[in-house]
């Protein structure tokens, strides 16, 4: 399958290059036969890139650790759904999947610029061939980063990747407008593709930020919403979309006013959450089992924290140390909050990458209480916690949702 995958990458590069050249010449000379050849090249390109993805997935599910990409991002103990997610774990896999979705849009409406971008993607893929083989086959792979073993990693990055593909499609439509010297539908198509990119990136960023809120430590190379430039891209697209609105009917003006009102309310909520972050309260506590400590936030809420104890258990792929706090406020008990340190192992019992720490979060209408286990003593079950309050975090989540909804309402024409 890896040989088939490599061959399909070469074919993708040849098809994209051919389609770009004959499409450009066809537009310049007005030759319908050349334009039809470019259209067929775009259709074939989607097929061969699909074959490449299937080949790489087959290598992942067959645990072919002689393939460098599989050895780097998979292991024998990795659950099935995350084997598919490993396809998006490395830059070569991201580029391959993104090129495939990008090629689908190029196939639906052949684009000279899109085929040109895909030719560049083919060169990059061959330079960092995801089907490259190792001189020796390891007994097991390094596995997926444990910090990414969450459904948010499957959903969030996939949405962001689709957003990048949609953004590239919008840019290709604008390039086609220049090549075709005034295609009347090119700018309209670019606006809608940009809208799609903004919606997908917004949803993906929200999913990843929600998931990362409960994760304390991320080492080098771990997927983070800020590592991929998602937030700057989202803010840039939000600013640009105001000028890319499509003015076909007066009904859009009403829709835009309504959307602007909803988005403005969301922006105010996000700004309020950002302002209240200046009132975060943080404290480090060292507690023995049964020992309690008081904690007062800057908003005046009193917390009584009792260390219940430390528990340890082992499963087939990880060793978990969990520390539990019983939380009470002045108005009564709040509940238990648990923070975990997890060390994952491969099929041979060897540590798999770095351990991760999952924070315990108690969400509230006034403030969230976030607890992180920093250290623990195996003999005495003494634990060291970092306790932090984050005021009005629900405003940030609600505000982000309102901004997304408001933007969609503003840019989608209302029915008359």
Q: How far is the CA of 206 from the CAs of 222, 339, 354, 361, 403, in angstroms?
A: 18, 23, 26, 18, 11
- pLDDT by residue for the chain (416 residues), tens only, comes to 678 888 888 888 888 888 888 877 877 777 778 878 878 888 888 888 889 999 998 888 888 888 888 888 888 878 777 888 788 778 888 888 888 888 887 777 667 777 777 888 888 888 888 888 888 888 888 877 777 777 777 777 778 778 878 777 777 777 766 665 555 566 666 766 777 777 777 777 777 777 777 776 544 334 444 444 566 666 666 655 554 444 444 444 555 567 667 777 887 888 888 888 888 888 899 998 888 888 888 888 888 999 998 888 888 778 999 999 999 887 778 889 999 888 888 777 788 777 888 888 888 888 899 998 888 887 788 889 999 998 988 888 888 888 778 767 766 655 54
pLDDT in tens, 153-192: 777 777 877 887 877 777 777 776 666 555 556 666 676 6
- Asked whether the CA dihedral 267, 269, 271, 277 is positive or negative, the reply is negative
Locate 392 and state its tokens: 């009005």
Q: 258 with 250: CB under 8 angstroms?
A: no
Q: What is the pLDDT of residue 184?
A: 58
Burial of 340 (0-12, 13-18, 19+ CB in 10 A): buried
Q: Rounded to 10 degrees, what is the CA torsion of 92, 98, 104, 105?
A: -140
What whole-number distance in Å separates Cα of residue 268 and Cα of residue 177? 38
Tell me, what DSSP letter sits at residue 148? G
Q: What is the Cα–Cα distance from 167 to 93, expressed in whole angstroms?
A: 19
| Residue 246, pLDDT score | 41
What's the chain's Rg over C-alpha atoms? 26
pLDDT score of 217: 52
* DSSP code at position 269: H
pLDDT at residue 411, rounded to an integer: 60
C-alpha neighbours within 13 Å on the C-beta side of residue 356: 22
**pLDDT value at residue 230:** 60
């Amino acid at each position: 399958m890896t040989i088939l995958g490599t061959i399909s990458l070469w074919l993708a590069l040849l098809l994209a290059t051919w389609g770009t050249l004959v499409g450009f010449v066809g537009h310049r000379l007005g030759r319908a036969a050349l334009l039809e050849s470019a259209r067929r090249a775009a259709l074939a390109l989607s097929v061969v890139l699909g074959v490449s993805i299937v080949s790489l997935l087959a290598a992942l599910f067959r645990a072919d650790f002689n393939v460098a990409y599989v050895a780097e991002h998979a292991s024998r103990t990795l659950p099935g759904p995350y084997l598919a997610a490993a396809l998006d774990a490395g830059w070569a896999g991201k580029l391959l999947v993104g090129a495939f979705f990008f090629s689908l849009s190029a196939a639906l409406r052949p684009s000279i610029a899109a085929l040109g971008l895909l030719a560049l993607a083919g060169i990059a893929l061959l330079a960092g061939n995801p089907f490259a083989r190792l001189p020796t086959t390891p007994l097991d792979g390094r596995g997926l980063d444990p910090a990414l073993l969450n459904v948010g990693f499957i959903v969030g990055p996939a949405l962001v990747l689709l957003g990048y593909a949609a953004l590239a499609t919008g840019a290709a439509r604008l390039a086609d407008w220049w090549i075709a010297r005034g295609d009347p539908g090119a700018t309209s198509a670019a606006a809608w593709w940009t809208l799609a990119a903004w919606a997908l990136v917004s949803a993906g960023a929200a999913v990843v930020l929600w998931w990362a809120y409960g994760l304390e430590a991320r080492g080098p190379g771990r997927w983070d919403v800020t590592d991929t430039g998602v937030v700057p891209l989202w803010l840039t697209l939000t600013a640009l979309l105001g000028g890319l609105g499509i003015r076909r009917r007066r009904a859009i003006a009403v829709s835009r006013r309504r959307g602007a009102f909803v988005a403005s309310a969301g922006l105010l909520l996000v700004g309020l959450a950002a302002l209240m972050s200046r009132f975060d309260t943080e404290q480090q506590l060292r507690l023995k089992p049964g020992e309690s400590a008081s904690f007062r936030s800057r908003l005046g809420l009193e917390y009584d924290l009792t260390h219940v104890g430390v528990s340890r258990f082992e499963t087939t792929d990880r060793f978990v140390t969990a520390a539990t706090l019983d939380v009470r406020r002045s108005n009564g008990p709040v509940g238990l909050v648990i923070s975990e340190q997890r060390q994952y192992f491969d099929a041979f019992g060897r540590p798999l990458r770095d351990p991760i720490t999952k924070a315990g979060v108690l969400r509230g209408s006034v403030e969230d209480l976030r607890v992180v286990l920093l250290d623990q003593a195996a003999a005495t079950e003494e634990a060291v916690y970092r306790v932090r309050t984050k005021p009005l975090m629900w405003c940030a989540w609600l505000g982000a949702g309102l901004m997304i909804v408001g933007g969609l309402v503003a840019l989608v024409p209302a029915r008359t």
